[in-house]
Amino acid sequence: MRMGLAIDASCDLPQDFLQQHDIAVMPIAVRVDSSTFKDNRDPAEIQRFLSLKLGSRSHSAETEPCSVEDVQKLFLEKLVLEKDCVFCLTITATRSPIYDHVVKASFAVLKNYRQVREPAGITGPFLMRVMDTRSLFAGSAPCVIEAVRLMQANETPAAIRERLAYIAENSYGYMLPRDLYYLRARAKKKGDRSVGLLSAVLGSTLDIKPLLRGYRGDTSPVGKVRGWEHGCETLFQYAADRVRAGLLVPVMCTAYGGDLAELPKLPGYDKLAQTCEEYGVTLMQAPMSITGMVNVGEGAVTVGFAAEEHQVDF
C-alpha cells in the first residue's frame, strides 16, 4: 500500500523533511494590505514576507485556510493517483476551521476517487484519514514525524491511526511571543479575548512575557518570564528537561518567526542542542509559517514535543 501524508501550512517542519518524505502541504492564503502570500511552507515565500518588513501592519492580515474545494482538488487531481492511503494532520480544530474543511472534503473524495483511479488503471480502495493534532505550530510536528516512522515500518492504517491519536493527545506546543501589543491587536482582530489590553500594557511596561501552551486543543498562558532573553533561556531549559525526562517521539521541534539563522544564537539554545545530542534526540529547526507570524507576530519562538502528561512549572 502506497501511504502518504498531508499537512496544513501552519505545521512548522523543515522544508527538506517535507520534500524527503513527499509530504503534501495544504496552503493558506495570506493578504496584508496590497500584498498576497501563498503560505505553503516555501522558504522563498517566507523570505519574501520577511523582506517586505510589514511589521505591525501584519496584525490586520486576512487569512484564508484551504477551502473544502481546494482540498478536494488536491486529492482528486493528485493524491488519489499517487497514494492508496493518506493521513491528513491538521492544526487543532479549536483554533482553525482547517480540520472541519478537510473532514467535509473527505466525503467527496471517498465518494468520487474511483472515477479518477480506474481510468488510470489503479485498482483497489483509497483511504483518507483526517486527524486533529490537538496542538499548533511546532506542537503539531511530533504527530507528523511519528507518522513517517510508522509508515516506513509498514504499520497498518489502523495501527497508525491509533498511535497518532495517542501522540496527538500528548503533544505540547510552547510559544514565547516577542511583542505583546502585536499579539493583543491580532487577538482583537480575530475576536479572541485571550490577550487583554491591560496585560499587554503591563507586560510591555515591565518587560514581562507570557509562555503560551497549546495542549489537547487548549491554548493558554502557563507561565510568565521577565525579559526576552530570560524567556528564551527558560523555554529552552524546560525543553531540555523534557528531553532528559524522556519523549514519546525522539525529536524536539523548534521554530522561529524570522531569519532561521538567528534561532541557534538565542540564549539557552546551545544547551538544548547539547542535551538533545547527549540523549540521542533529533533537534529540528524550522521557520515559522507566514500564517503563524501574522497571528502571533514576528520574532516568536516555539518548541514542540510529545511526552507523557506532566506538571508544568515555570
State the residue for C-alpha cell 518570564.
225
Residues 6+ apart with CB under 8 A from 234: 211, 223, 225, 268, 314
Distance CA 5, CA 229 (A): 37
- pLDDT computed for residue 34 by the predictor: 85
SS3 39: strand
**Between the CA of residue 171 and those of 12, 131, 168, 179, what are the distances in Å?**
14, 13, 5, 25
Distance CA 217, CA 51 (A): 33
Q: What is the DSSP letter of 38?
A: E
- pLDDT computed for residue 198 by the predictor: 46
- pLDDT computed for residue 183 by the predictor: 79
Provide the angle, in degrees to the nearest 10, between the axes of the packed helices 180-189 and 197-206. Answer: 170
Average pLDDT of the chain, as a whole number: 92
pLDDT band with cut points at 50, 70 and 90 for residue 191? low
| Per-residue pLDDT tens digits for 104-158 | 999 999 999 999 999 999 999 999 999 999 999 999 999 999 999 999 999 999 9
- pLDDT computed for residue 301 by the predictor: 97
- Could you tell me which residue, 200 or 162, shows the higher pLDDT? 162
- pLDDT computed for residue 313 by the predictor: 79
Between strands 251-256 and 218-226, the pairing is: unpaired
Output the DSSP codes for 167-198: HHHTEEEEEE-S-HHHHHHHHHHTT--SS-HH
- What is the tally of helices (H) and strands (E) in the chain? 12, 13
Q: Is the pLDDT of residue 235 over 70?
A: yes
State the residue for C-alpha cell 501511504.
3
Q: Is the pLDDT of residue 201 over 60?
A: no
Q: Is the pLDDT of residue 204 over 70?
A: no
CA dihedral 66, 67, 69, 73 (to 10 degrees): 10
> Which residue type does 183 have?
L
| Per-residue pLDDT tens digits for 16-66 | 999 999 999 999 999 998 889 999 999 999 999 999 987 667 777 889 999
- pLDDT computed for residue 206 by the predictor: 66
Model-level pTM? 0.93
- pLDDT computed for residue 264 by the predictor: 97
- pLDDT computed for residue 289 by the predictor: 96
- pLDDT computed for residue 197 by the predictor: 44
